[in-house]
Structure 1
Amino acid sequence: MTAAFTPAHVVPPQVAYVQRQFARRRASVGPVRHFVRQATSGHLPADRVDDVIVCASELATNALQHTPSGRDFRVCLGFEDGVLRLEVHDAGDGSPRVREAAVEDDHGRGLFLVAALADTWGTSHRDGPGKIVWAVFRSAKSADA
């Protein structure tokens, strides 16, 4: 009987998925950042973890603004082969888009930051009301992102 082995150069993909529900209130943004930092540490380099945290904070803030009262929002993180996918699920209507905020505006830059920091981002439909806003991060930031 011969033993099966995996050659050293063949590494099986590492897949992990975590999610957490948050109440629709301003005080939830800090816990979102903490959750994302804890979940991403060790999966991405520190500078990319910082990018993910900023994006999670911006997407959570958007979810607070667009989710109806009494509804929660969910933050999901999926890791596979050095790529992280951040998702924020909310029950709000509409389709988010990057906008150009005026200098005097005190809001409206969140998706601009997400577009600048993530390798790619977008929206998807979900079961039930609302949408998923997602952002993808590779271990090393893409030159064309």
Structure 2
Amino acid sequence: MARRLVRAALAVWALNELAEDGVLVATELVSNAVRHARRASVRVVVERTAQGTVRIAVADLSCTQPVACLPGLNEDEGRGLLLVAALATRWGSDERRWGKIVWAELEARR
């Protein structure tokens, strides 16, 4: 569902060039939220913050803030936020009294 939401929003805004990166970012953010917040339910928001800029955000009920780490060569997990950081112009998280929102911004080439 999150992937379809991202693709649909980007198509409406004529930002199809961001679709592949946007889908990958959404997948990683949702996966992290489900895995670490231990909840099957998360909220995904896609918003256009400027002409060529999109913010993909995932809200969950965990207050634990995300931390990008460098996994060992033989580890199968732990690269998601590094991937998000590589694809996004910027990313971060905002604390809420009920949990957090982790977001990433993507910008179209001009």
Contact 1:66 1:93 in 2 (8 A): no
Higher mean displacement: 109-118 or 36-45: 36-45
1:61 lines up with 2:21 in the alignment: no
Matches within 5 A, 1:1-145: 31-43=1-13, 45-69=15-39, 72-79=41-48, 80-126=50-96, 128-140=97-109
Q: Secondary structure at 1:41's aligned position in 2?
A: helix
Higher mean displacement: 82-91 or 43-52: 43-52
Counterpart residue identity of residue 59, structure 2: H
Contact 1:44 1:139 in 2 (8 A): no
5+ long unaligned stretches in structure 2: none
- TM-score of the pair, normalised by structure 2: 0.88
Counterpart residue identity of residue 100, structure 2: K
Q: Secondary structure at 2:69's aligned position in 1?
A: coil
Provide the aligned C-alpha RMSD in A.
Answer: 1.8
Number of aligned residue pairs: give it.
109
Contact 2:15 2:108 in 1 (8 A): yes
5+ long unaligned stretches in structure 1: 1-30
Structure exhibiting the larger radius of gyration computed from Cα positions: 1
Counterpart residue identity of residue 92, structure 1: S
Kindly report structure 1 stretches of 4+ aligned residues shifted beyond 2 Å: 42-47
**Identity of matched residues, %:** 35
- TM-score of the pair, normalised by structure 1: 0.68
Tell me how far 1:89 sits from its aligned partner: 0.3
> Residue by residue, what CA displacement relative to the aligned partner does 1:2-46 show, whole Å, maximum 9, x if unpaired?
xxxxxxxxxxxxxxxxxxxxxxxxxxxxx2112211121242543
Counterpart residue identity of residue 88, structure 2: A
1:24 is aligned to none
Tell me how far 1:92 sits from its aligned partner: 1.4
